[in-house]
């Protein structure tokens, strides 16, 4: 079997004005999806998702067409380790971090989809088999909104059986964030888990260590499940200090790349848990290595999952086969590209998502109808606001 072509498929879903949502990174106007389809001379094609969708879809398309398709033409898709190493080494002088690892991720995922279809086995069987048949999930929503609306949203998730919910902070005033979380905890009571995401890779003005420390100290009695990305990803020393000086579990990793980036977070105990995403961190192959490194240091993985149905399924196969990948993120924002690309719908019950079993490959598909319905919209996806210093 040989690779004959690599296609980039761009899809979009534009929000109506009343449905768009805000967070630390700005205002989301549309959800993009960047897929890669790897074709072979045996007529089998594999789908993968590239986790850089909001800002650089056209750039990703150009990079694949000019660099990665010529690089991989004629390769045997079964040689996943060779292909991953070839892609990483031949692009390392211009992209060891950032957008290039997301491209590696999508291609790597697509190769597993090909192999699974060829041997008629699910991807999880190719990467360790089934460790768990269902996944404890939290509701990932809680975008910027008034406390009354946020409370109503949170209660809806709890009524649906979710053990907890993710809430976004980190936009402008840290004191307002503190007051919001304290009030939400007061309204919801002590039982539900609150997972708080500060998203400091996305904001125009990331928190300093002092700000993050102050937020932690004033939220320690709120019994947070974790505080996510309270510092910019480059501030490893800040993460180490913060993790050592607060009782709140600190997590990060959705904006870290490949095992070499995660090595610092793990071996230096800069965080309590890591959040690799198979669509961003280097693919299924690399996330298995990241999880193994974390396991060697008795650290758990809480994968980041916030894309289409292809990314959801790829992460599901990873979590199903990985002992220390203990929890699943269930994105609750409006995004029909999740369900549209899955061969079987998500089966959710009483706080758990069940493993979608026995489908060859990833269990995803795309056709001309979907490509037409969600044709790419070449407009701004996120309004980042004005870059004006606040101090």
**Domain coordinates of the chain in residue numbers?**
3-120, 125-361
Q: What are the C-alpha distances in Å from 294 to residues 132, 191, 253, 270, 274? A: 19, 29, 12, 12, 8
What percent of the chain lies above the pLDDT cut of 90? 96
* Assigned CATH topology for domain 3-120: Enolase-like; domain 1 (3.30.390)
Lowest mean pLDDT among 102-106, 257-261, 349-353: 349-353
112 membership: H or E segment, kind and range:
helix 99-119
Q: What band does 115 get if pLDDT is binned at 50, 70 and 90?
A: very high
55-63 contacts, C-beta under 8 A, 24 or more apart: 55/381, 55/382, 56/99, 57/10, 57/32, 57/376, 58/10, 58/378, 59/99, 60/8, 60/34, 60/99, 60/102, 60/103, 61/8, 61/10, 61/34, 63/99, 63/100, 63/103
Residue 120's CB is within 10 A of a number of other CB atoms, namely: 11
Q: Is 55 helix (H, G, I), strand (E, B) or coil?
A: coil
pLDDT class for 390, splitting at 50, 70, 90? low
Distance of alpha carbon 15 from alpha carbon 362, whole angstroms: 28
pLDDT at 240 over 70: yes
* pLDDT band with cut points at 50, 70 and 90 for residue 54: confident
pTM beyond 0.85: yes
Nearest Cα to 8, choosing from 144, 125, 102, 120?
102
pLDDT digits over 206-218, tens only?
Answer: 999 999 999 999 9
The average pLDDT across 168-175 equals 94
- pLDDT tens-digit readout, 144-166: 999 999 999 999 999 999 999 99
What does the pLDDT read at residue 251? 98
Across the chain, mean pLDDT equals: 96
Same fold, 3-120 and 125-361: no
What's the whole-number mean pLDDT along residues 160-189? Answer: 96
The CATH T-level fold of domain 125-361 is TIM Barrel (3.20.20)
Q: What percent of the chain has pLDDT over 70?
A: 99
**Which residues of the chain form beta strands (DSSP E)?**
3-14, 21-23, 26-28, 30-40, 45-50, 134-140, 164-168, 193-197, 226-228, 250-252, 273-274, 300-301, 328-331, 348-349, 352-354, 382-383
Residue 137 backbone zone (phi > 0: left; psi -120 to 50: alpha; other: beta): beta
Is the predicted pLDDT of residue 391 greater than 70, yes or no?
no
Q: Decide if pLDDT at 389 tops 90.
A: no
Tokens of 168: 């976004």
What average pLDDT score do residues 18-29 get? 94
d(CA 48, CA 34): 9
Of 274, 272, 248, 249, the C-alpha closest to 261 is 274
- Locate tokens 């594999």: which residue? 46
Per-residue confidence (pLDDT) for residue 237, from 0 to 100 = 98
- Tabulate helix, strand, coil % of the chain (nearest 5): 40, 20, 40
pLDDT tens-place string over residues 297-340: 999 999 999 999 999 999 999 999 999 999 999 999 999 999 99
CB atoms within 10 A of CB 176: 11
Confidence tier at 172 by pLDDT (50, 70, 90) = confident
What is the torsional sign of CA 331, 339, 137, 239?
negative
Report the C-alpha gap between 340 and 52 in whole angstroms. 19
Contact between 270 and 264 under an 8 Å Cβ cutoff? The reply is yes
Closest among 221, 230, 233, 220 to 250, alpha carbons compared: 230
Q: Is the pLDDT of residue 388 over 80?
A: no
**pLDDT at site 150:** 97
What is the rounded end-to-end Cα distance, in angstroms, of the chain?
59
């Amino acid at each position: 079997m040989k690779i004959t072509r690599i296609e980039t498929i761009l899809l979009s879903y534009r929000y109506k004005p009343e449905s768009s949502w805000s967070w630390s990174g700005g205002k989301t106007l549309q959800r993009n999806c960047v897929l890669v389809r790897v074709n072979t001379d045996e007529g089998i094609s594999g789908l993968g998702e590239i986790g850089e969708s909001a800002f650089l879809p056209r750039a990703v398309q150009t990079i694949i067409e000019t660099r990665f398709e010529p690089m991989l033409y004629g390769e045997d898709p079964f040689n996943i380790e060779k292909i991953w190493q070839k892609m990483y080494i031949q692009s390392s002088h211009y992209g060891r971090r950032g957008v290039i690892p997301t491209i590696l991720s999508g291609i790597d995922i697509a190769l597993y989809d090909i192999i699974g279809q060829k041997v008629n086995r699910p991807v999880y069987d190719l990467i360790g088999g089934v460790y768990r048949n269902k996944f404890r999930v939290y509701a990932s929503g809680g975008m910027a909104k008034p406390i009354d609306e946020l409370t109503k949203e949170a209660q809806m998730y709890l009524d649906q059986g979710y053990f907890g919910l993710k809430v976004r902070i980190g936009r402008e005033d840290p004191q307002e964030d503190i007051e919001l979380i304290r009030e939400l905890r007061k309204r919801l009571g002590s039982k539900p888990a609150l997972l708080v995401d500060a998203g400091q890779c996305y904001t125009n003005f990331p928190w300093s260590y002092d700000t993050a420390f102050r937020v932690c100290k004033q939220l320690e009695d709120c019994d947070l499940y974790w505080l996510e990305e309270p510092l910019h990803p480059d501030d490893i020393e800040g993460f180490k200090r913060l993790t050592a000086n607060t009782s709140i579990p600190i997590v990060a990793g959705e904006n870290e790349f490949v095992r070499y980036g995660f090595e610092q977070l793990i071996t230096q105990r800069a965080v309590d848990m890591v959040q690799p995403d198979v669509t961003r961190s280097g693919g299924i192959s690399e996330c298995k290595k990241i999880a193994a490194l974390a396991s060697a240091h008795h650290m758990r993985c809480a994968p980041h999952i916030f894309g289409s149905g292809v990314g959801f399924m790829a992460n599901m196969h990873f979590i199903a086969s990985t002992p220390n990948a203990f929890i699943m993120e269930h994105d609750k924002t409006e995004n029909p590209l999740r369900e549209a690309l899955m061969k079987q719908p998500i089966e959710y019950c009483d706080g758990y998502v069940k493993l979608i079993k026995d489908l060859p490959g990833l269990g995803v598909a795309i056709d001309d109808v979907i490509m037409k319905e969600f044709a790419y919209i070449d407009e701004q996806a996120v309004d980042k606001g004005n870059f004006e210093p606040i101090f």
